């Protein structure tokens, strides 16, 4: 998907993985799963509602990381 947004001028050997587009399983699915889990915690009565809000916050951060990694291919590195 990132190569569709920013097509490379030449084919390099270090292209993003076709198996796991940049962080889909790591951040995308985990963020969506955390959103669902937080919603279930908020609906229940066994856990405090602050757990649900912490989960929502973490899920949003994970999804922002996923979208940022998807859109920004050449992130600046400090060396």
Q: Which residue has the higher pLDDT, 65 or 38?
A: 38
d(CA 61, CA 68): 10
- Whose tokens are 């920013």? That residue is 6
pLDDT tens figures, 25-36: 778 888 889 999
Residue ranges of the domains in the chain?
A: 22-71
Q: Which residue has the higher pLDDT, 5 or 35?
A: 35
* Band of residue 71 on the pLDDT scale cut at 50, 70, 90: confident
Assess whether pLDDT exceeds 80 at residue 54: yes
Structure tokens that stand for 75 in this block:
């992130």
Per DSSP (E only), the strands in the chain are none
């Amino acid at each position: 998907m990132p190569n569709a947004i920013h097509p490379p001028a030449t084919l390099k050997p270090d292209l993003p993985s076709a198996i796991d587009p940049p962080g889909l399983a790591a951040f995308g699915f985990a963020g969506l799963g955390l959103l669902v889990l937080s919603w279930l915690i908020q609906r229940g009565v066994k856990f405090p509602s602050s757990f649900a809000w912490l989960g929502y916050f973490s899920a949003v951060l994970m999804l922002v990381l996923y979208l940022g990694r998807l859109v920004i291919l050449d992130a600046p590195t400090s060396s």
